[in-house]
Amino acid sequence: MTLKTLMMTTLVTASLAAAAANVKPVASVEGIHSYQLENGLQVVLFADQSKPTATVNMTYLVGSRMENYGETGMAHLLEHLMFKGSKNYPEPTKEFTRRGFRM
């Protein structure tokens, strides 16, 4: 392990420990841990020490199935906001790539 890797691991661990005061463990099964953040966000962690990278998957519980009366169209709006771009970010996939995302 290089010094840079060790320092980054230490910093990430310290910041996670500081934030952990507001995290409520929900469940742990076979190395997969589920947490509920103070703002309601559910986080599921699965550590794979054999890989030198981190993978983030995001699941939005939205869509026409999740919409209530008077909320129709919100899922479609979210799709446009995430992938169609805007005046400031006309090509969002290029912005994702520039920041190191792979889709």
Which among 30, 67, 71, 79 is annotated as catalytic?
A: 79
CA-closest candidate to residue 34, choices 23, 43, 21, 22: 43
CA-closest candidate to residue 23, choices 35, 32, 14, 41: 35
Active site residue 79: yes
Q: What is the dihedral of CA 103, 59, 99, 6, to 10 degrees?
A: -110
Is residue 13 within 8 Å of 7, Cβ to Cβ? no
> What three-state secondary structure class fits 12?
helix
Q: Which amino acids are annotated catalytic?
A: 79
